[in-house]
Chain A
Amino acid sequence: MTDSTGKFGVGGLHHLGIPNRRQFFQLGAGAAAGWTLSGSALAQTERPSNPPNKPRGQVIAALSQEPTVFHPLMPGIEVDQGVWWQVFSPLWFIDPEGKFVPDLAREVPTIENGGLSADGLTWKIKLRSDVKWHDGTAFTAEDVKFSLDLINNPDFRVRSRVGHSLVKDITIVAPDEIHWRMEAPYSPYMSILSLTFIVPKHILEKVSDPNASPFHNAPVGTGPFRWGERVPGDHIQFNAYAGYHGKGPYLERLVFKYIPDLTVLYTQFRTGQVDYTGTQGILPNFVQEAKALKGRKIFVSSTSSVEHIAPNLEFGPFADRAVREALYLAINKQAIIDALNYGLPLQTESFVPQQAWSFQQGLPQHKYDPAKANALLDAAGWVRGSGGVREKGGVKLEFTNSTTSGNAVREQTQQLLIQDWRAIGAAMRVNNMPAAVIWGDYWQQSKFNSVIVGVNFMLGSDPDVTPRFGSGAIPAKGGRGYNTYQYQSAEADRLLAEGAKQFDLAQRRTTYGDLQKLIRNDLAILPLFQAFIAEGVKEGLQGFSPNINTSSNCWNVREWYWA
């Protein structure tokens, strides 16, 4: 067991002097059986100021969801991405500052370096020639072509073809260079490729069924860690890949430990059984206590997810902008942030995270103003009827609000909303459902009145929200996206189309800035706050770096090491 400084237990005892009762117990039992003492048995005993020359030590990262999808091109959730980052590599990735950093590619293609044609239609990618798959086979442009072809293979159960379906005429110029043509200019593809992990042709071309093969449960990649073992329902172990082409890995072993209950997860972090708390991190109510723990560091960082009230804009009262504005003014957002979320999240007015290059400063700030809300509704013709509930033209200002059952904070938020909105003559009823129910047809086919949901609107780090706010992306109307709000705006469509064609950052910033102003003005969503995650690491574990541009803060475990 590592002690509070991240040292190996027995080594630590020598430094600490008299062992405590727990250490004594472990020492005695361990001595009796030649017991390897620890969750982090390989953690280091010395304190180098720099990363070690060769991989050393182990990290146990606790996850509240179990990774189960190991083929990086198949449908998976955020926690699966944590595995993909260890085993596979993309052509390039986005660092915490939002910069593209080459990985399997030698350089990130731009118009300036000739990687992209001025019209954005021709892509020329130069690849590293020193990369080897975990089984020793050389990585080449064939693998990139195979991955893109596989994504567009109709028999393959791919996660998404957004962007990829535009790729045509793939040409392998050399083992380390590949070109293709895009059917239409699509600048978000840079960002999509940053989360597209390349798979090995030499293994997958031999399988008869691309959706089921031994590779799916024992993947081979070019990433910093090789697949070790998986004990279903318990943990996955990765071992350092000595031939990794990038920085690191500095750890000998990485273990993803599945602990479904967040209280138990925190307890195991507290008792030292795990070194890092990932996925949903530490519950907000434990954050203050966790910060006081000896030998632990707590990182509270923003995520890309924006917690908001999603109105169904085709549902009676919500079609009226005045209603949406009145409801928004009547929400005591600060109380929700402070009282229910311990003051940890950031207030926001945009769907774009505040750390992103595309974030629009200076959007109109929300102000809790029930009097103004009442006046707005009065002016819009919503008059108070029986029971104090407003109505207009026979339509009552009453609606349901839904969220995932058992999400205590959101359920408490609903109670505050009921109070806030009752004060302006709006009646809200709670209609919560289990996750598998609410996020099914109820959400996808816009069968809700309103929902509290956290959504990451970004495509990697790209602000293209065509699938979220485009008129053609409404599933309930046969659209190809997830515009479940049923938001329709000709101006938004124009801006989205323009932004997707632009490759100049300054131009794109302006375009998406205008879009944020428009969405804020239309109140297509009622933003509550930009979500946060509180993660804990043991003191001595270096290199942890939250990255808002990925779904998993395990994106750079290759650079973690014990000091």
Chain B
Amino acid sequence: MARYVLNRLAQAVMLLVIVSAIGFAILHLAPGGPLSQFAASAQMTQEDLDRVTKQLGLDRPLPIQYLDWFGRMLKGDWGRSYRDGEAVLSVISSHLGATLELMTTATIVAVLLGCWIGILGALRRYSLFDSLATVGAMIALSIPTFWFGLITIYVFSVTLGWLPAGNRETVGDGSFLDLLHHLIAPAMVLALVETAMWGRFMRSSMLEVINQDYIRTARAKGLPEWRILTVHALRNALLPMITVAGLQFPTLLGGALVAETVFTWPGMGRLFLDSIGYRDYPVVMGILMFSAIMVLIGSLIADILYAVVDPRIRVG
């Protein structure tokens, strides 16, 4: 197992280097730059722009800029934001909490609800419940998040006045109840789509398992249905879910671009959008590397868990 993990880690490092080089090149070769925002204003002349470009080191050849960035990153210096001069890691960590709060809540709701719907749908295949769940999932997966978000705001904030129309907290409050009050709408919107996805995965996994020979054998042995379901069927049906969870892990930290914008949620998704818009290269690269690391960690954990949970799987 240790050798397996070490191998995977070595692959991961190689992958990170490739991702960083490609990401850096694409980002810097895209037209425009961090100073474009000043060009249309009357405050800075071309001479001013040229001077600041030089001061930021953006006039150097791209490979030199990349090696400089990469070298500093190896030493733990991820650079500073062009926008507010904050250290990139500090910028990322300041947005991570909000994203974790939102995504974890939405995912917990979605996993619990989705698995329940999926299991019940599989056990009562083609029943009214299953049909409704299938149609519901299709609708949920088809609705664009921004539309559902805006409708949620219109109904629950503008019309009914039950929930705030966005924001993470009331400035100056920040109590648990206040946070919860603000969390309900965005978490509900995100959970809807995720529930549908988890429900579909769980249903098909469960369907595959309950038609296996060993389930039939268990029934023939006269085992009670609940025991067949929990010990034999569910345990095996949950295995593929580990892969799904592993792939979902980076999403937990990466944030939700659309929902965070619609609900004015100060998370990673909005940070990424803003940073792209302003061509804040250090922050965009920081988020890119952070996401890549999370993807690799997620899939590594999933693989290891797979090996631990399923004794049939051997790694070496």
Contact = CB atoms under 8 A, between A and B. Distances in A.
A233 B45 contact: no
A56 to B, nearest CB: 14
Contacts of B267: 233
A255 B181 CA distance: 20
B42 A468 contact: yes
A233 B166 contact: no
Contact of B47 (A25, A29, A264, A480): A480
Contacts of B25: none
B157 A467 contact: no
A284 to B, nearest CB: 19
A188 B32 CA distance: 31
A30 B170 CA distance: 12
Contacts of A444: 39, 46, 49
5 contacts: A58-B172, A234-B168, A434-B32, A436-B30, A443-B39
Given A35-B177, A233-B95, A443-B40, A271 B164 contact: yes
Contact of B157 (A267, A440, A453, A479): A267
Nearest to B32: A436
Contacts of A173: none
A419 interface: no
B158 A78 contact: no
B4 interface: no
A412 interface: no
Interface stretch (A157-165, A360-368, A512-520): A157-165
B39 A68 contact: no
A446 B289 CA distance: 36
A260 interface: yes
Contacts of A211: 55, 85
Contact of B48 (A21, A161, A258, A259): A161
Interface stretch (B188-196, B231-239, B273-281): B273-281
A458 interface: yes
B91 A232 contact: yes
Given A39-B171, A232-B266, A453-B40, A482 B45 contact: yes
Interface in A475-501: 475, 479-482
B41 A77 contact: yes
Interface residues of B, number: 67
A41 B32 contact: no
B147 to A, nearest CB: 12
Nearest first, the 3 A-B pairs at minimum CB distance are: A22-B161, A436-B32, A233-B266
B36 interface: yes
B226 interface: no
Contacts of B83: 68-69
Interface string B62-73: 000000000000
A440 B262 contact: no
B42 A459 contact: yes
B38 interface: yes
Given A160-B48, A260-B261, A234 B266 contact: yes
B214 interface: no
A433 B32 CA distance: 10
Contacts of A475: 46
A164 B89 CA distance: 36
A456 interface: yes
Contacts, number: 215
A201 B49 CA distance: 26
A231 interface: yes
A75 B39 contact: no
B178 interface: yes
Given A231-B94, A271-B157, A439-B37, A482 B264 contact: no
A338 to B, nearest CB: 26
A440 B173 contact: no
Interface in B139-195: 150, 153-154, 157-158, 160-162, 164-168, 170-173, 175-178, 181
B177 A264 contact: no
B172 A36 contact: yes
A137 interface: no
Interface residues of A, number: 82
Interface of A: 20-23, 25, 29-30, 32-39, 41-42, 58, 60, 66, 68-70, 75, 77-78, 157-162, 211-212, 216-217, 231-235, 237, 253, 255, 257-261, 263-264, 267-268, 270-271, 273, 433-444, 453, 455-459, 467-468, 473, 475, 479-482
Given A29-B181, A217-B86, A271 B44 contact: no
Contacts of B49: 444
Contact of A439 (B32, B150, B171, B263): B32
A63 to B, nearest CB: 11
B28 interface: no
B41 A25 contact: no
A75 B40 CA distance: 13
Interface string B40-62: 11111111110010011000000
Contacts of A271: 157-158, 161, 164-165
B261 A479 contact: no
Contact of A264 (B42, B81, B95, B264): B264
Nearest to A20: B161
A271 B157 CA distance: 7
B158 A216 contact: no
B46 A479 contact: yes
B41 A217 contact: no
Interface string B195-238: 00000000000000000000000000000000000000000000
A25 B181 CA distance: 10
B32 A440 contact: yes
A268 B55 contact: no
Interface in B236-274: 261-264, 266-267, 270-271, 273-274
Contacts of A434: 32, 277
B158 A267 contact: yes
B85 A216 contact: yes
A457 B184 CA distance: 46
B274 A66 contact: yes
B266 A439 contact: no
Contact of A436 (B33, B52, B84): B33
A233 B98 CA distance: 10
Contact of B165 (A30, A232, A264): A264
A446 to B, nearest CB: 11
B12 interface: no
Contacts of B91: 232
A544 to B, nearest CB: 20
A482 B46 CA distance: 6
Contacts of B171: 39, 60, 235, 237, 255, 257
B165 A268 contact: yes
B8 interface: no
Given A60-B171, A159-B44, 5 more contacts: A261-B264, A267-B158, A271-B157, A436-B30, A438-B36
A237 B169 CA distance: 14
A490 B184 CA distance: 65
Nearest to B280: A68
Contact of B153 (A20, A157, A259, A267): A267
B268 to A, nearest CB: 9
B95 A232 contact: yes
A38 B170 contact: yes
B157 to A, nearest CB: 5
Contacts of B168: 234
